[in-house]
Each structure stands twice: as structure tokens, then as C-alpha cells.
Amino acid sequence: DGPVLALVGATGAVGTTMIDIIDSRESVPWGEIRLIASARSAGKVLRVRGEDVTVLELKPEVFDGVDVAMFDVPDEVSAEWAPIAAERGAVAVDNSGAFRMDPDVPLVVPEVNADKVTDRPKGIIANPNCTTLSMMAAMGALHREFDLQSLVVASYQAASGAGQPGIDQLYAEIAALAGRRVGIVSGDIATVLADAGVAVGSEAGSPFPAPLALNVVPWAGSLKEDGWASEELKVRNESRKILGIPELKVSATCVRVPVVTTHALSIHATFGRDVSVDAARKVLGEQPTIVVKDDPAAGEWPTPADTVGGEPTVVGRIRQALDFPNTLELFVCGDNLRKGAALNTYEVAETVAAAG
């Protein structure tokens, strides 16, 4: 009784957050929850809603009888296995980048386009990139009211966007630098890290191309044409698809900062209809998954430290741009492992189950 849910990638950073989300739900619609991972992690026993569940090895037959299969694995694993899950009768909800821009795969943020979950000719639904996702509930709500025309975005992305290896790297760097007064003489952070045996740069095996502790790195993803980072193009392409505005003007600069979890975005958004700070605050304040925290006189604004571990997107610093009509400046924080990844995937899975 109840549909069968599978979680592929149960032991990664997003998978672990997913289990925490499933555990924290008052009730779940699932008759069975199956955990799946690579051969390396198969056989581990994890607690899910008070029960021991043995992690199964990723093989075609583990999808037999599964109704919804959530994938929190690298692109190439999803590219191969989401279609296998779909062939075996499951609806695959995929958090990788493998299918997001496929015209036959809906890209869903329930607050914006929940109706798209049933329009899935390949049996696959994609979950957006965590940076894009962190601003979609807010931008979707503002677009419905004020007709979004353009977005200029700078991101401040947490280390956990690069998964468990990103978290481990940042902590290793912080430990190696603890108590050292580095960063005063050019280049000494990298030297201290290298001397301590901590990888510096992608070639040495770090998930980041430069030291992240005590630093800011203007890079996320891989190099694309004309100097763009893949993450910046994802923000552009995915925002257009989710919001249903193919011509939306988007320009993004993606930056990694020494924060463990929660992506922040500084957004310059221009609208086609008259907008005011008060009207925007009212619209955002009415959204069930958004918290407006915007009282600079009282020191109230969103920060990753206040946002991490929570479900809502937190929005603040809402201002009318002084030199750009109908344009708002906003600062948005979203937990990249929750709404940015596991939570949205789970909400899509629940929406699929509810739709039957």
C-alpha cells in the first residue's frame, strides 16, 4: 500500500540531506522507500523514518516496482540510469544536469510550474541547478505580478555545491590555516595549504580551482565558449525554461565563497509593469515558502548562517534601483542542499505521487 519511492545516490551530500527531509516529514505517502547507491556504498545500513534500510547496488532490477525514483548522482550516472528507471516503469526525478534542457523533460519548481509534472514523455522530470533554484520561488512570484524582463545576478555559492568533496576541502583548508595570519602577503594561503598537504587547485585534486578558505573564487563549473562558466549558462537557460520566458535577458557571474552550505544571490531584476518595494515585499511575504527578512535598521537581512538547515528561501535588502526604472535589487539566500537540491526533488516526487 502506497507508492514505492527510490533514492539513487543515498549516501552523497544531497542523498543524506534527502533522508533528513524524509525523516522530518510528519507523514509520507510511500509504502516503501528503497535506497540505492554505487557498489562501493551498497550494503550500508541507514536509518529512514526509524527503520534500518540496507543500501542496494544500482542495477536495472532495483527499479522493478518503483513508482518514483529520485536521482542525486553525477550527470553521467543519471544520463545512463534515469532512462533505465523510466523503462522499468518509474517516474525519474533527476537532480543532475543531464536532462534539464531536453525539450521532452519538464524542469520543475513546484511554486512556479507544478502543472508540468504530468507532461513527461520520457518518464523523466528534471530538478534545476541549485543556484538557479535558490531564486526561482521569489522570481516566479514577482514575475506573475510584475512581468519580469531581465535578471542580472551575482552568486555567492557554498562549498557544498560541489558535494561532500567540497565540504571536506573547505574544512581541510580551514584546519590548515587555523590560527595562521595568512592572506596578508600575496599568495601565501596557497603555500601554507600546499605545505600542510592540502590540495590546492583542480590539478591537485581540489574541487575548487583556487584556495577557498579566506578567499573568493569567481568560478563554478566548467569552461564554456567566450569565457563563460557552465554554472552561469545554467542560471540563464534554466531560469528561462522554468519561468516560461524564452527571451528573458539574463547575465550571471557565479562566485564560490568559503561558506559550507547555502547559496546567496544578489539580483538586479527589471520588470515590464510598475513595481515598488512595498508591492514586492507584499507579494513575496504572501508566498508560503518565502521569508522576507528586510529591516536593515535592525540589522535584519538574509545570511547563509541564518538560512542553512531551513526550508524557506529568505529574501531581503529589497531596494528600488536608483538609476533603473522598475528595477529591484534583492539579496536571496537558499539552502543549496535543501530547496536547492533534495527538498525540491522531494517536493516534485510528492507532487508526482499526488497526481497519481
Binding site for ligand 11C (CB under 6 A): 97, 129-131, 157, 161-162, 220, 231, 234
Residue 296's nearest CA partner among 329, 267, 324 is: 329
Residues in the chain: 356
Q: Which is nearer to ligand 11C, 3 or 302 (CB)?
A: 302
Q: Which is nearer to ligand 11C, 132 or 327 (CB)?
A: 132
Q: CB count, 10 Å around CB of 258?
A: 17
Smallest distance from ligand 11C to CB 231, Å: 6
| Residue 250 CB partners (closer than 8 Å, separation 6+) | 150, 151, 152, 153, 235, 236, 239, 240
Q: Which is nearer to ligand 11C, 56 or 265 (CB)?
A: 265
Identify whether the C-beta of residue 66 lies closer than 8 Å to the C-beta of residue 6: yes
Q: Which is nearer to ligand 11C, 3 or 97 (CB)?
A: 97
Residue 15's nearest CA partner among 85, 67, 84, 77 is: 77
Q: Residue 118: what residue type?
A: T
| Residue 330 CB partners (closer than 8 Å, separation 6+) | 138, 266, 267, 269, 280, 315, 316, 317, 318, 319
Calpha distance 91→143 (Å, rounded): 29
For the chain, the C-alpha Rg in angstroms (whole number) is 21
- Give the CB-nearest residue to ligand 11C: 161
Calpha distance 105→7 (Å, rounded): 19
Smallest distance from ligand 11C to CB 328, Å: 24
Q: Which is nearer to ligand 11C, 131 or 270 (CB)?
A: 131
Smallest distance from ligand 11C to CB 315, Å: 19
Q: Which is nearer to ligand 11C, 3 or 161 (CB)?
A: 161
Residues with active-site annotation: 130, 263
| Residue 310 CB partners (closer than 8 Å, separation 6+) | 335, 338
Grid coordinates representing 146 are: 510584475
Number of H helices, E strands in the chain: 10, 14
Calpha distance 149→256 (Å, rounded): 27
